[in-house]
Structure 1
Amino acid sequence: MSSHITSSASSQGPSGGVALKDLPKSWNFTANLPADSAFPSPAISHKTPRDDLGPRMVKGALFTWVRPEEAVDPELLGVSTEALRDLGIKPEEAQTDEFRQLVAGNRLLGWNEDKQEGGYPWAQCYGGWQFGSWAGQLGDGRAISLFETTNPDTKTRYELQLKGAGMTPYSRFADGKAVLRSSIREFVVSEALNALRIPTTRALSLTLLPHSKVRRERTEPGAIVTRFAQSWLRIGTFDLLRARGDRDLVRKLADYTAEHVFSGWSSLPARLPDDQQDTAEPPSTPVEKDTIDGPTGLEENRYARLYREITRRNAKTVAAWQAYAFTNGVLNTDNTSLMGLSLDFGPFAFLDTFDPNYTPNHDDGMLRYSYRNQPTIIWWNLVRLGETLGELIGAGAGVDAAEFVEKGVRQEGADELVSRAEGLITRTGEEYKAVFLEEYKRLMTARLGLKVHKPDDFETLFSELLDTMEALKLDFNQFFRRLSGVSIKEIETEEARKEKAGLFFHKEGVVGDEAVARERVGAWLDKWRTRVVEDWGAQEVTAQAEEERQAAMKAVNPNFIPRSWILDEVIRRVEKDGERDVLGRVMKMALNPFEETWGGDREEEERWDKKGDTALLTAAKKGNKEMVTLLLESNTDIDISTRNKYNQSPLTVAIEEKYWNIVKLLLKERGRMSGVDEHFAWVLGNPGGTEECNGKWKEFRLSFECVVSP
């Protein structure tokens, strides 16, 4: 078991953690919000046959009491010690049977079986807008929350939840299960994002259910991820209440969010001055709950401040996604956290080659959730929240009037209410943009090793660098890491800068004319060098300052990110080959992304912290057809600017990308040329079909005719 426990460089808090039995537990969510009337108490739900707790419509409630399904012979595959630390649990607890049974859903802490009372698990009810269309009731279809716990040292409260623990009333047409493949992905990326300091939900453990066979496109092994967050509330939680016209519950949920999810009404942001509505930071003065601030027609009450807090949090998170090139892939409102956490990981990916139009979602043909569109779509989701809170926001100073609370706004006051709500939502949109840009500039400034951001930096450094990356198809995160090791003295002359430019190219070369590429990167390095000298030295940068700058850059520019092809390899090795230690090794790298080495399998580490193209071509040279196919099908290490075409086979993709050595390998595996013409025909009929493709087609045909001749 111990070999599967993943570790990080972080240390335990002052107490070193507590045992599970001593961990503080609470059920604030279920104590303050209405339960499903079909199962009004834990005891009634507990007595109900598990199969009777399946899908149906739930109204007038925010959750249903429901216990996890029993797991037979669960195998604990991995535990994050970073997660243990943040929860306040002793590391050695992960070795106990009680822990293993808890994270498999077989142990209910807080529930007294004999007395049929105590704290009990639940599934949340919510709805959502998916791809711009209303989807109706959704909810925790395969997630069940166990309890809330407060870290004894930090006093931070988290809600512990099992994903893949069985059917709930919100499972719709699904089975409540999670497959090992997606569970490994969520386990790794949750902790990886946290290590990159990107707000995210977390993952404590990963458990294999060896007797659970889950039907998807194929039958796959089942698994459970034990995850946690300060809150699992989403914009979709409010969406469903608005769709059903439940204004009383909208208000109740808003009150709960401010009082129990955030730190109380007085912690919400004060109103921005009229001439500073696009300012990133509001006044720090605490605002009392009943304060009304602002001119007539735009008065902010406490619900307007709540809306702004949720908006500000999401703005900072999406800025971090953009700064580290993370794409969620499915940014529906049910996947947008009220706390601004990265949430519900499906077809996510980090960009490899920089392509602003990239989306990891095969179903997103319109690129709605592409990297470029993430800031816009999060604001779209926040506008939906503003519409739900619109009555409360628009009421202004009259929000607590008895008649308004009971009946809502009178007809004669409706226009004023709507005007105020629209004005405040628009104003909040300006704040969203300001907060996003400020956070993005802060992160990018740090990634470039600069001490302060100057007005010209956005255009001359940020935008120009991204344009260069896109044009030359450079690897996004690898560029910053390699830049971290560049000495200013190494790029003092134009020729030196052109020579150094090759450091950022793929091993196989660069797109287009190499001399032009070197000149373009060299010109950018000159501008970057000038700014570094401005920040770190008057005329020149001292050796000590250079050392400090490089260390600062390496502390924010990861040497490892969990690229999709790496996760695909880990999944294959864990699921098909029965390896277990590989999961621990990749988690160690994910938890410590800024390290130079991790003390594991050296060949593996060197391969994983390099660009995917290198792994692809290395596999081809070694004749590893399975790995070549895996990398091509993962769609992560080749140009993905026209995403939909990659529904084609690996052979078609290899032809399209002109990876001729891979084409040869795949043709050799086929042992025939028949049926291959169609792949070349598809490519030749599209913009990628060049004379080179036509020539190679003839070359391969001739080669195969020689092979099959008598």
Structure 2
Amino acid sequence: MTAPISTNAPNGTTNGAFSGVSLNDLPKTNTFTSNLPSDSAFKTPSISHKAPRDGLGPRIVKGALYTYVRPEKADEPELLSVSPAAMHDIGMKKAEDETEGFKQFAAGNKIFWDEKTEEGVYPWAQCYGAISLFETTNPTTSARYELQVKGAGRTPYSRFADGKAVLRSSIREYVVSEALNGLHIPSTRALSLTLLPKSRVVRERLEPGAIVVRFAQSWLRIGTYDILRARGDRNLIRQLSDYVAENVYAGWSSLPSAFNASKSPSVASVPKDTIQGSAETEENRYTRLYRAIVRRNALTVAAWQACGFMNGVLNTDNTSLLGLSLDFGPFAFLDNFDPSYTPNHDDHMLRYSYKNQPSVIWWNLVRLGESMGELIGAGSKVDDETFISKGVTEDFAPELIKRAETLIQNIGEEYKAVFMTEYKRLMRARLGLKSEQDSDFDDLFSELLDTLEAAELDFNHFFRRLSSLRPSDLETEDQCKAKAPIFFHKEGVPSTATLNEEAARERMGKWLRIWAERVKKDWGTNPVGQEEREKEMKGVNPKFVPRSWILDEIIRKVEFEGEREVLTRVMRMATNPFQERWADGNDKEAIAEEERWCGDVPREGRGMQCSCSS
């Protein structure tokens, strides 16, 4: 069987008999605030709670990783939509979202701290993050999630912003978070979407405000380190690293060394000789933490590339320490395959284009290496009292710098190997191949992408439509050429394409012939085997992805036409993207909408771009 599009990331979905609990009975913890230093101006929840809410706005916070801060009160909130998949994965029971308590929680109006007894979990904010309400652990998967309300007001970390989120971008984040999870791509999640009808937020225009309840196993980013490094806060960098290893990852003993690359099944072929055992490459536990973060991000960006997803703003503050897809501004899935496409209309230099996503993530990871460089470069001296208390001596500096640079460079080679291994695994799955052959990359992967680009063909539609073809349909050159148009747009090959329609038929036909022979080697010619291959391919090649034009249509319907049920329909598709149909068989209108959303992208909707505003 071919492997699904998955990166072995901690995105587990609960299964089994557990039916969930109420919001009030959901276990609530605060591991983050219990283990890391708080803002000295509001040292305790009580001090923060007694402070005027408008006094908790932007300012510089030093020597701390969070501030106790409650959400702003929302007037007359309207709960627009809830993700059933998210409810299930968090561990809440069905229909809990129909209670008044849930609706107030989803609007940021309900906190789980008692002012009289000072018991419970008080909300907090960290740099680059929204306001976190609590952590909870799913009893089946043991995954711990931190729940946040995005758009619930200013915090000390809001800089010059208002801490608000507009409905438009909130809809986009709500849908894509759950869509990526549905595609088995590591991602932060979205539980609910709430409209704030009394809140008007200024962005490109005056827009309605909204709140997304989102959750993740960690909201820490590379940018968290960047600020500490800029301030020279070496002690807090060490404390943060200890927290990440012990509480975000599964403990120091779980972190990979250079010599156990096979520990992760999807990176088993990473060369084991990339690190030499010399003094310059002496590794300590912080090096292994850095390697774990690098590998997680390599796996995730490989999944993005295989599925044609792009984050249009991949700054260090949008790069997760856990390798999660994070903070969705100008994102998009590819329509026509174009390596230079960027979803960010302000990205004139194409820094965040599709082809640059892997290199930008590595650039960010090098910045993390610089922040952790002192810890990595210290080698076995990392726990010496003199090093901890006084830092790097002049005599030790050259050795430390050399070791850090060498290790970061070597782990960079691992990044490339992990990325390429995972990317090839995912592409083989998308093409229905069970075995690996050296010729596949050039003959199948590269040639296919070149053909899609030259003929301006749709990236994800291609794989889904390919799933239904069988080698018996592709026995001759004429048969292959005759099948090629199933991948074309309704109007044929666009006039702007490098290839004309006849040339596109010829080139695609040649590729299909090569593919058919490879499929026969892996699956044989027996119809039963081909049925199994088709099933496998349709299990990894989505029929639905939330493209930009679809999201614009949904935003228009919700914001300007007052429709609500469209969110339920799109969420049903986003969380189950591999199905053939989602609507009830008698609902002809919903079926027509599904087929339109899964069909040919309108010309004016291809390659859309958007802004960074939220």
Q: Give the length in aligned residue pairs.
A: 585
Distance 1:579 1:148, change over 3 A: same
TM-score (norm 1): 0.80
- Is 1:436 the counterpart of 2:419? The answer is yes
Inter-partner Cα distance in structure 2 for 1:273 and 1:586? 42
User: Could you say which residue in structure 1 is the equivalent of 2:582?
Assistant: 598
- Is 1:608 the counterpart of 2:611? The answer is no
User: Could you say which residue in structure 2 is the equivalent of 1:523?
Assistant: 510
Tell me the CA shift for residue 170 of structure 1. 1.4
For 1:672-691, what aligned pairs fall within 5 Å after superposition? none
Inter-partner Cα distance in structure 1 for 2:260 and 2:539? 36
- Is 1:144 the counterpart of 2:147? The answer is no
Distance 1:513 1:282, change over 3 A: closer
Inter-partner Cα distance in structure 2 for 1:217 and 1:417? 48
Task: Choose which of 333, 339, 342 in structure 2 pairs with 1:350.
Answer: 333
Determine helix, strand or coil for the equivalent of 1:327.
strand
Task: Choose which of 298, 305, 322 in structure 2 pairs with 1:315.
Answer: 298
Distance 1:153 1:299, change over 3 A: same
- Is 1:555 the counterpart of 2:539? The answer is yes
Determine helix, strand or coil for the equivalent of 1:226.
strand
Paired residues of 2:78 and 2:195 also in contact (CA < 8 A):
yes
Task: Choose which of 529, 532, 536 in structure 2 pairs with 1:545.
Answer: 529
Determine helix, strand or coil for the equivalent of 2:135.
strand
- Is 1:460 the counterpart of 2:429? The answer is no
Determine helix, strand or coil for the equivalent of 2:420.
helix
Distance 1:529 1:282, change over 3 A: closer
Tell me the CA shift for residue 272 of structure 1. 2.6
User: Could you say which residue in structure 1 is the equivalent of 2:176?
Assistant: 189
User: Could you say which residue in structure 1 is the equivalent of 2:70?
Assistant: 67
User: Could you say which residue in structure 1 is the equivalent of 2:123?
Assistant: 121
User: Could you say which residue in structure 2 is the equivalent of 1:128?
Assistant: none
Tell me the CA shift for residue 115 of structure 1. 2.4
User: Could you say which residue in structure 2 is the equivalent of 1:488?
Assistant: 471
Task: Choose which of 572, 576, 593 in structure 2 pairs with 1:588.
Answer: 572
1:616-644 CA deviation, whole Å, 9 max, x = no partner? 5xxxxxxxxxxxxxxx4xxx415x8xx89
For 1:167-182, what aligned pairs fall within 5 Å after superposition? 167-182=154-169
Task: Choose which of 74, 81, 84 in structure 1 pairs with 2:84.
Answer: 81
Paired residues of 2:23 and 2:102 also in contact (CA < 8 A):
yes
What amino acid maps onto 1:220 in structure 2? Answer: E
Determine helix, strand or coil for the equivalent of 1:612.
coil
1:562-602 CA deviation, whole Å, 9 max, x = no partner? 00000000000000000011111111111111111111501
Determine helix, strand or coil for the equivalent of 1:26.
coil
Inter-partner Cα distance in structure 2 for 1:282 and 1:557? 25
User: Could you say which residue in structure 1 is the equivalent of 2:480?
Assistant: 497
Determine helix, strand or coil for the equivalent of 1:159.
strand
Report percent identity of matched pairs: 65
Paired residues of 1:293 and 1:300 also in contact (CA < 8 A):
no
Paired residues of 1:65 and 1:122 also in contact (CA < 8 A):
yes
1:142-168 CA deviation, whole Å, 9 max, x = no partner? x10001100011111000001001111
Paired residues of 1:469 and 1:476 also in contact (CA < 8 A):
yes
Tell me the CA shift for residue 23 of structure 1. 1.1
User: Could you say which residue in structure 2 is the equivalent of 1:108?
Assistant: 111
Distance 1:293 1:523, change over 3 A: closer
Inter-partner Cα distance in structure 1 for 2:434 and 2:357? 27
Inter-partner Cα distance in structure 2 for 1:118 and 1:577? 41
Tell me the CA shift for residue 611 of structure 1. 2.2
- Is 1:268 the counterpart of 2:251? The answer is no
Determine helix, strand or coil for the equivalent of 1:220.
strand
User: Could you say which residue in structure 2 is the equivalent of 1:27?
Assistant: 30
Determine helix, strand or coil for the equivalent of 2:24.
helix
Tell me the CA shift for residue 271 of structure 1. 2.2
- Is 1:201 the counterpart of 2:188? The answer is yes
Deviates more, 1:599-608 or 1:568-577: 599-608
Determine helix, strand or coil for the equivalent of 1:161.
strand
Determine helix, strand or coil for the equivalent of 1:206.
strand
Determine helix, strand or coil for the equivalent of 1:437.
helix
Paired residues of 2:190 and 2:213 also in contact (CA < 8 A):
yes
Distance 1:273 1:263, change over 3 A: closer
Structure 2: state its 5+ residue gaps: 1-12, 585-589
Paired residues of 1:83 and 1:202 also in contact (CA < 8 A):
yes
User: Could you say which residue in structure 1 is the equivalent of 2:50?
Assistant: 47
Paired residues of 2:46 and 2:115 also in contact (CA < 8 A):
no
| Higher alpha-carbon Rg | 1
Inter-partner Cα distance in structure 1 for 2:433 and 2:400? 46
Inter-partner Cα distance in structure 1 for 2:15 and 2:198? 35
User: Could you say which residue in structure 1 is the equivalent of 2:523?
Assistant: 536
What amino acid maps onto 1:403 in structure 2? Answer: T
Paired residues of 1:94 and 1:100 also in contact (CA < 8 A):
yes
User: Could you say which residue in structure 2 is the equivalent of 1:622?
Assistant: none
